[in-house]
Structure 1
Amino acid sequence: MRLLVLGGTEFVGRAVVEDALERGWDVTVLHRGTRPAPEGATVLHGDRLAPDGLAALEKGEWDAVVDTWSAAPRVVLEAARLLADRAGHYTYISSCSVYTYPSAAGSDESWPTVDADPGADGTEYAADKRGGELAVEAAFVDRSLFVRAGLILGPYENIGRLPWWLNRIARGGPFPAPGPADLPIQYVDARDLAAWTLDATEAGLSGPFNLVSPPGHATVGELIDACVAATGSGAEPVWLTPEQVAAAEVEPWSQLPVWLPPGELHDSLHGNDVSKAVAAGLRCRPVAETAADTWEWLVSIGGTAPQRPDRPAVGLPAGAEERLLAGRA
């Protein structure tokens, strides 16, 4: 397979490139040159926001394209139009955020999506991702695949969710753990996302697929336990009720990454039906493996994960942990 990856140097894009290279595929990456691409890939440089940002792609043919773009849909539209006659298939890494809120627990790919314009300069994340889907579909029609990812974790994470938990737990001692411990969570390891995406791309699958772990794959408690085991710190979780978290004025998701209390938002983000992707071969590794491998990677780079400039840092602000622990006591 001759694969073109638009991006390919960070998190999901990097996982896709590394997996494709392990398969022996001929991989080309187009990126800005701010970070090194995986060894073995053919490297092209271009800033997709610049007027001539796609100049390096004016020649060449590929069996498939994988695009991870997350901002202005018009950038995806420009790439898809340019490549429509020289690439066999186009996979766009989208998001479950494209669904109108609130989506019901157990909803599948038929749930209504937000309004979006494929030629827009960028508005907000959900509309941008849906606009990217429409942009690809306009140029590639039934040769287009939309990977609607949920929460993504694993090595190379540049959002900071799992790295924050691992680093906090590595410090040891009692730490606040938002409960209930048996609350189910849905996420996908970036490497499992990459493997499924490449299999689906090679098979020529088209249309939308929710891509996240099946319900029941992991719980908050299992994630916390996996982080304790991975770091070997012996840190002790102090379990808190959602009411105790709220009383301490701590925000779910952003200040306590991954976690959402039971309710409408939890159902929307941690209750997606992924039976379509499972039927098409999705396999998710155990949470213990994701935590252990992410910790190994973090240690190898000195403990500080890269941070995407377009995303705010996550984790508890100063004083919040003390409020949480005091509220539990």
Structure 2
Amino acid sequence: MRILIMGGTRFIGVYLTKILVEQGHEVVLFNRGNKPAPVAEVKQIHGDRKDSAQLKEKLSSQEFDAIFDNNGRELSDTQPLVEIFKDRVEHFIYMSSAGVYLKSDQLPHIEGDPVDPKSRHKGKHETEAYLAAQNVPFTAIRPTYIYGPQNYNDLEAWFFDRIVRDRPVPIPGNGMHITQLGHCQDLASAMAQVLGREQAKGQIYNVSGDRYVTFDGLARTCATAVGKSAAELKIVHYEPKQFDFGKRKAFPMRVQHFFADVHQAKSQLNWQPEYDLLSGLQDSYKNDYLVSGRDQAEVDFSLDEKILAAT
């Protein structure tokens, strides 16, 4: 197949590009050209996707069998792309988010659960609805928290920062909120598995690790991943409503239960996560955190100090 990836030079896009090239596909990346292609022979078309005229100029003459839209956040990001390729592409794979789900008393989230119209990810669901209404042969992927090497969001690195420096780990609430992480390699693998599957068209798939973990459990697993004693890790619980952090984040995850069922992806896509949580965190620590030198970098712990002083 000749495949277009929107983005392709950061995090998930890097993993997906490598997998598709290894499978023998011809991969073309569309991005601003700020980073080199993750695979030398991959062609890049440079442009700004938010400029619809430029997008049309750069892509209208191109033909693709499939498109992966990895970085469209709002409907306005994806609609111009659909208008170009609506009747010219066999499969349109859209990176959505499990963050679209409405907070619920019943968990895990499954693909048919109600969505939250006020979610900060509402643009993702609006895009899913648009793709369906336009009869685009699409598949939407809804990951929970994504982690792994090259993660540009402070997630596992937030825990590593404190653990490698033998600092207490401040965790909101009682530490028993249940969450879910999925390794970037596993997410990219599931996305690649969508190709060539008629059954996947018109479907939405939750994709993440197949086990859940508490906040405290995540901290202890991070400690094990960096070679520290989980039993000796000092965790400090606090009530976030007692603090005014302004716009700064004192903790990298939403303080609620947040996890989704991935059985539909496993059964219909013939997909299985390769990484359990510990092996995935070890991968991120050894092949990203240490390699980047972040263990030696200056870290701002001022919010931690504010919490610790009050507890």
Measured against the shorter chain, the TM-score band is 0.7 to 0.9
Note if contact 1:148-1:208 (Cα within 8 Å) is conserved in structure 2. Answer: yes
Instruction: State the TM-score, normalized to the length of structure 1.
Output: 0.79
Cα offset, 1:250, TM superposition: 7.0
Query: Which residue does 1:210 correspond to in 2?
Result: 206
Query: Which residue does 2:122 correspond to in 1?
Result: 127
1:200 aligns with 2:194: yes
- Could you tell me how far apart the structure 1 residues matched to 2:262 and 2:141 are? 11
Identity %: 25
Change (3 A) 1:182 1:125: closer
- Could you tell me how far apart the structure 2 residues matched to 1:113 and 1:176 are? 31
Cα offset, 1:173, TM superposition: 4.1
Q: Superposition RMSD on alpha carbons, in Å?
A: 3.0
Query: Which residue does 2:73 correspond to in 1?
Result: 71
Unpaired runs of 5+ in structure 1?
116-122, 305-314
Query: Which residue does 1:163 correspond to in 2?
Result: 157
Query: Which residue does 1:118 correspond to in 2?
Result: none
Query: Which residue does 2:272 correspond to in 1?
Result: 283
Question: Structure 1, residues 284-328: CA drift from partner, whole Å, max 9, x if none?
Answer: 311122212212213223329xxxxxxxxxx9851x323444555
Query: Which residue does 1:301 correspond to in 2?
Result: 292
How many residues of Structure 1 are paired with residues of Structure 2 in the alignment? Answer: 299
- Could you tell me how far apart the structure 1 residues matched to 2:145 and 2:175 are? 19
Query: Which residue does 1:307 correspond to in 2?
Result: none
Change (3 A) 1:83 1:294: same
Change (3 A) 1:100 1:226: closer
**Quick one: which amino acid aligns to residue 45 of structure 1?**
H
Note if contact 2:186-2:208 (Cα within 8 Å) is conserved in structure 1. Answer: no
**Quick one: which amino acid aligns to residue 5 of structure 1?**
I
- Could you tell me how far apart the structure 2 residues matched to 1:101 and 1:229 are? 31
What's the secondary structure of 1:237's corresponding residue? coil
Query: Which residue does 2:305 correspond to in 1?
Result: 322
Query: Which residue does 2:44 correspond to in 1?
Result: 43
Note if contact 1:177-1:238 (Cα within 8 Å) is conserved in structure 2. Answer: no
Note if contact 1:4-1:29 (Cα within 8 Å) is conserved in structure 2. Answer: yes
What's the secondary structure of 2:54's corresponding residue? coil
**Quick one: which amino acid aligns to residue 19 of structure 1?**
I
Note if contact 2:209-2:277 (Cα within 8 Å) is conserved in structure 1. Answer: no
- Could you tell me how far apart the structure 2 residues matched to 1:124 and 1:321 are? 28
Note if contact 2:100-2:119 (Cα within 8 Å) is conserved in structure 1. Answer: no
What's the secondary structure of 1:145's corresponding residue? strand
**Quick one: which amino acid aligns to residue 301 of structure 1?**
S
Change (3 A) 1:246 1:98: closer
Cα offset, 1:147, TM superposition: 0.6
- Could you tell me how far apart the structure 2 residues matched to 1:166 and 1:22 are? 32
Note if contact 1:179-1:240 (Cα within 8 Å) is conserved in structure 2. Answer: no
What's the secondary structure of 1:300's corresponding residue? coil
1:237 paired residue among 206, 213, 233? 233
Query: Which residue does 2:107 correspond to in 1?
Result: 105
Note if contact 2:109-2:261 (Cα within 8 Å) is conserved in structure 1. Answer: yes
- Kindly report which structure 2 residues correspond to 1:258-277, keeping only aligned pairs within 5 A, or say none: 258=253, 260=255, 265-266=256-257, 269-270=258-259, 272-277=260-265
Cα offset, 1:248, TM superposition: 6.0
- Could you tell me how far apart the structure 2 residues matched to 1:230 and 1:52 are? 45
1:153 aligns with 2:147: yes
- Could you tell me how far apart the structure 2 residues matched to 1:169 and 1:259 are? 20
What's the secondary structure of 2:294's corresponding residue? coil
Cα offset, 1:246, TM superposition: 5.2
- Could you tell me how far apart the structure 1 residues matched to 2:175 and 2:158 are? 18
Note if contact 2:193-2:271 (Cα within 8 Å) is conserved in structure 1. Answer: no
**Quick one: which amino acid aligns to residue 198 of structure 1?**
A
